[in-house]
Amino acid sequence: MTDTRLDPVLARIDAMLPEALERLMALLRIPSISTDPAYKADCARAADWLVEDLASLGFTAASRPTTGHPMVVAHGGEAGAEGRHLLFYGHYDVQPVDPLALWDRDPFDPEVQETANGKVIRGRGSADDKGQLMTFVEACRAWKAVHGSLPGKLTIFLEGEEESGSPSLIPFLKQNRRELSADIALICDTGLFDAKTPAITTMLRGLLGEELTIHAANKDLHSGSYGGAAANPITVLTRILGRLHDENGRVTIPGFYDGVTELPEAIRQQWQGLAFDHAAFLGDVGLSVPFGEKDRTPLEMIWSRPTAEINGIWGGYTGDGFKTVLPAEAHAKISFRLVGAQDPHLLRQEFRNWVEAQLPADCTVEWKAHGNSPAGVMAIDDPAFETARLALGREWGVPAAYIGCGGSIPIAGYFKTYLDMDAMLIGFGRDDDQIHSPNEKYDLECFHKGIRSWARILAQLC
C-alpha cells in the first residue's frame, strides 16, 4: 500500500538520519540538569536551542520565563483533513549524572557506540527525554522538507523542570489555559512494551501517600518496669497494619475498591496475548511467586489493580545491640496506588477512619498527608487511539499494545485537570536504557523508528 503523502516523508527521514543524529548530539551536549542551580544557564541555553530549531521549521516559538526554568512553546501549521489540533509534550531537562565515576565517558560528550544489540546513542538525556522529544521534531522537519508545510495544526510544549518536580508546571498551565488547549496531547516520555513491540500507555495508576504516628505513653518506658501493662505503640502499629490485606491479598479498608472496575474484556485478552515474561519479571529481582491478590497475574497487579504498600516503618530502638524500651511512639509511611475512579480524597479519609477505629485505649494517631493524584485512564474510545495504534503497528511490524503503567506520570492528569485535554502516551524507550543511571543510552533504531512512527501518526491524525 503506497501513501503518496507519507512515503516520501519516510524516505526523507531515512536519508537525513545522520543530520538528525547530529542535531540530537548538539542538544545532548548542553548539560541541562534542572535540579542543580549550577546548570541554570545551561537549561536556558537548551530552551533557546530548541526555540531556534523549531523556528527554523516555521513554528512561532518562544522561551517563556517561569520562576524556575523556561518553558518552550511553539505553534505552527494549519488544520489538516482530520481537523485535529495536536499538542506535543516532552522535556528538555535531564537527571544529574552522579555517580560520575560509573560513567564510561563524559555524560555530556555523547557518541554513537556499537554494541551487541546494535548502535546506541550514549549520553545523559539520550532517552530521557531529549532523544524522544527530537523524534517528534524530526518528523515535523521531514514533513516540512517534503511538503513545504507542517502536517497539521501543532503546538509543541517542552518543559525544563520534569526531573525536579515540575514546580512551575501547574501555574503555567493555569495561566496559559487557552493557548495550550488542543484536541489531544501526545506525550513522548514512556517506553515500548518490549524491545520490538510498540505501545500506547492508556492506564496510569494514581498515588496517595500517608504517614502516621501512633502515640501511647507520654515518654519512653522501661520494658521491665512496664512491659505487659503499658501499651506498646509498635505492637499497636503492627496489629493494625498487619490487617491491611486479607488472606486473599485484598485490601481490607471499607470502601477501598469503590471505583475499581474490572479490565474491559478486549484489553484483558490483548494483555494475555502480550508475551510478558512473568517468571523473568519476578526472577530478575530474586522472587518467584506473585505476592498480591489471588487469581491476578503480575501484569494485572501492577497495571490495573490498586495497592496498599508500607514504604517505611520505624519506632523504638534501632541501633546496634539491644535496649529494652517501650517507646512512646511508632511511625509508618504508607502509599496506595490507585486505579479507575478511586477518589484519593475519599480514600484518605476511609483509611484514617479504619485506623482510628482500631486504636486501643490510651493510643492516639497523628497524621501527615503526602500528596495524592487520581489514576489516569485514557479515553481509548476516541478514534485517535486506534488510528495511532494501527500506525505504530505498520512501522514496527507487530501490532501495538495498549498497556498500563504501574507508576504515576502526573503530566497526563494535569492536562486532563487543567486543560480538559486527553493524552496519548507514546514512547520508544527500552527497559535497558538506564535512564536516571550512569551510561544512559537510546537505541539508534528507537530514534529512527520513533521519527518514522510520528510521521505515520501525524499523517493519520492531523
Interface positions, 403-442, toward its own copies (CB under 8 A): 405-408
Find the part of the chain contacting its own copies (CB under 8 A) among 128-136, 189-197, 307-315, 411-419: 307-315
Cβ distance 158 to 53 under 8 Å? Answer: no
Considering the complex, state which of residue 314 and residue 367 has its C-beta at the smaller distance from its own copies.
314
Minimum gap (Å) between residue 447 Cβ and its own copies: 24
Choosing from 259, 316, 413, 438, the residue that interacts with its own copies (CB under 8 A) is 316
Choosing from 116, 229, 275, 280, the residue that interacts with its own copies (CB under 8 A) is 229
**What residues between 359 and 378 interact with its own copies by CB under 8 A?**
360-362, 370-371
- The string of DSSP letters for 147-185 reads HSS-SSEEEEEEES-GGGT-TTHHHHHHHTHHHH--SEE
Q: Is 37 in the site for its own copies (CB under 8 A)?
A: no
Considering the complex, state which of residue 25 and residue 217 has its C-beta at the smaller distance from its own copies.
217
Q: Is 79 in the site for its own copies (CB under 8 A)?
A: no
Cβ distance 367 to 211 under 8 Å? Answer: yes
Find the part of the chain contacting its own copies (CB under 8 A) among 49-57, 74-82, 319-327, 413-421: 319-327
| Half-sphere exposure of residue 350: CA atoms within 13 angstroms, side-chain side | 18
Q: Is 203 in the site for its own copies (CB under 8 A)?
A: no
Which amino acid is located at 399 in the chain?
P
The Cα–Cα gap between 400 and 350 comes to 39
What are the residues whose beta carbons fall under 8 Å from the beta carbon of 338, sequence distance 6 or more?
Answer: 205, 206, 207, 208, 306, 344, 347, 373, 374, 375
Cβ distance 34 to 163 under 8 Å? Answer: yes
Considering the complex, state which of residue 245 and residue 394 has its C-beta at the smaller distance from its own copies.
245
Considering the complex, state which of residue 244 and residue 451 has its C-beta at the smaller distance from its own copies.
244
Choosing from 33, 207, 391, 435, the residue that interacts with its own copies (CB under 8 A) is 207
Cβ distance 329 to 315 under 8 Å? Answer: yes
**What residues between 86 and 125 interact with its own copies by CB under 8 A?**
none
Cβ distance 452 to 397 under 8 Å? Answer: no
The Cα–Cα gap between 311 and 304 comes to 20
Find the part of the chain contacting its own copies (CB under 8 A) among 33-41, 127-135, 278-286, 387-395: 278-286
Considering the complex, state which of residue 180 and residue 237 has its C-beta at the smaller distance from its own copies.
237
And the C-alpha cell for 35? 535540579
Cβ distance 339 to 304 under 8 Å? Answer: yes
Find the part of the chain contacting its own copies (CB under 8 A) among 95-103, 269-277, 318-326, 349-357: 318-326
Q: Is 199 in the site for its own copies (CB under 8 A)?
A: no
Q: What is the DSSP letter of 105?
A: S
Which amino acid is located at 344 in the chain?
P
Choosing from 240, 380, 392, 401, the residue that interacts with its own copies (CB under 8 A) is 240
Considering the complex, state which of residue 188 and residue 328 has its C-beta at the smaller distance from its own copies.
328
Cβ atoms < 10 Å from Cβ of 219: 7
Binders of its own copies: how many residues, by CB under 8 A? 80
| Half-sphere exposure of residue 14: CA atoms within 13 angstroms, side-chain side | 7
Considering the complex, state which of residue 176 and residue 235 has its C-beta at the smaller distance from its own copies.
235
Cβ distance 121 to 54 under 8 Å? Answer: no
Q: Is 167 in the site for its own copies (CB under 8 A)?
A: no
**Residue 116: helix, strand or coil by DSSP?**
coil
Minimum gap (Å) between residue 274 Cβ and its own copies: 15
Considering the complex, state which of residue 137 and residue 332 has its C-beta at the smaller distance from its own copies.
332
Choosing from 124, 141, 337, 452, the residue that interacts with its own copies (CB under 8 A) is 337
**Residue 201: helix, strand or coil by DSSP?**
strand
The Cα–Cα gap between 189 and 66 comes to 22
**Residue 28: helix, strand or coil by DSSP?**
helix
Choosing from 234, 263, 384, 462, the residue that interacts with its own copies (CB under 8 A) is 234
Q: Is 218 in the site for its own copies (CB under 8 A)?
A: yes
Choosing from 147, 196, 294, 323, the residue that interacts with its own copies (CB under 8 A) is 323
Choosing from 75, 305, 348, 449, the residue that interacts with its own copies (CB under 8 A) is 305
